[in-house]
Amino acid sequence: MKSAKKSKSMRNLKRLACLLALTGTFHAPLQAHDKNFGYLHDKNGELILNSLGECIRTTSWTAETAIPKCEGIEEVKVTDADQDGIADNSDKCPATPAGVMVDATGCAKDSDKDGIMDSADKCPGTASGVEVDSSGCKIVMASMEPKDSDNDGVTDLKDQCPDSKPGVNVDTQGCELKKSFVLEGVNFITGSDEITAASRSALDRVAKTLIKNGDVNVEVAGYTDDRGNADFNQSLSQKRAESVKAYLQSSGVAADRMKAKGYGEARPIGDNSTSAGRAKNRRVELHIIE
């Protein structure tokens, strides 16, 4: 009799447990386990859910053991599309090429702030403000000193005779000085030794040439055409030679490097019977003194 009652009581208890489980009031089937996970699990380690599909907390539940999905929290999947070690949700440069070193924002790292990322920077310690090339190294500017290929003291840009022989004396245009040459463009007021204003630029170039060639001594030679009195022409040529010497001296050429001499009508280089020939004869020449 007692056995029958006991059996009936057990059946009723089981029915009650099932009913409570269905209503969510009781969640601990006979095979449930806690395992200190904070939620009830079955013997296979799977979570046991109530009739509402909710996880069942145990007395060992703590915030540290909380499972996001059991607490209604969706787990955020962390992705890193460019595989640079910075999660996409924090990556300001999400398409960084493979192998490029990045900073905390996921952008190419440039430790010395020279505009070249570290992975390509061959000089990673460049000082601030230094101009660099594509490899991140300081740009070394080529010498700005003008080139003088024939070493004659006249830069290539101004040298009209760029292949001067070594050691020869040249003028301001880089051309070899002749033993004797006419000072083209040097003229005087008619009948006087006054140098025209237009002649000064030509004489300035002559002065620069003589200063450049400090070992050269010259004779300033004056000439006239054959018109007029020969004595007058002789005196005029002398005065004109001295006027040129004085101008050159005032331009920096040492006086002891020059002497002035007038030759009058002698040594004509043009036909005195023509105006063009006479114009050629009225001239000043420089003769280099050996």
In this predicted structure, the answer to whether residue 13 has a pLDDT above a threshold of 70 is no
Q: Which residue has the higher pLDDT, 100 or 223?
A: 223
Mean pLDDT of the chain: 82
How many of the other CB atoms lie within 10 Å of CB of 99? 8
pLDDT of res. 28? 41
Least confidently predicted of 90-94, 192-196, 201-205, 258-262: 90-94
pLDDT tens across 69-78, in order?
888 776 667 7
pLDDT tens across 159-205, in order?
888 888 887 888 878 887 888 889 999 999 989 999 999 999 999 99
In this predicted structure, the answer to whether residue 220 has a pLDDT above a threshold of 70 is yes
In this predicted structure, the answer to whether residue 43 has a pLDDT above a threshold of 80 is yes
In this predicted structure, the answer to whether residue 263 has a pLDDT above a threshold of 90 is yes
Q: At residue 218, what are phi and psi to the nearest 5 degrees?
A: -135, 160
pLDDT of res. 34? 54
Q: Cα(185)–Cα(97) distance, rounded to whole angstroms?
A: 70
Strand ranges of the sheet holding 258-262, from the earlier edge strand across to the other edge: 180-182, 283-289, 217-223, 258-262
Residue type (1 letter), 120: A
pLDDT of res. 42? 86
CB 36 within 8 A of CB 60: yes
* Domains within the chain, CATH numbers bracketed: 2-71 (no CATH), 180-289 (3.30.1330.60)
* pLDDT level of residue 276 (50, 70, 90 thresholds): very high
105's torsion region: left (phi>0), alpha (psi -120 to 50) or beta? alpha
Residue 258 belongs to what H/E stretch? strand 258-262
Q: Cα(56)–Cα(49) distance, rounded to whole angstroms?
A: 6
pLDDT of res. 26? 43
The arithmetic mean of pLDDT across residues 207-213, rounded, is: 92
Please, is 46 exposed, middle or buried when counting C-beta atoms within 10 Å of its C-beta (0-12, 13-18, 19+)?
exposed
* pLDDT level of residue 20 (50, 70, 90 thresholds): very low
CB 88 within 8 A of CB 81: yes
3-state secondary structure of 181: strand
Least confidently predicted of 39-48, 86-95, 239-248, 280-289: 86-95
Specify the pairing of strand 258-262 against strand 217-223: parallel
Q: Which residue has the higher pLDDT, 23 or 177?
A: 177
CA of residue 139 relative to chain centroid, distance: 6
Q: Cα(28)–Cα(47) distance, rounded to whole angstroms?
A: 12
Specify the pairing of strand 283-289 against strand 217-223: antiparallel
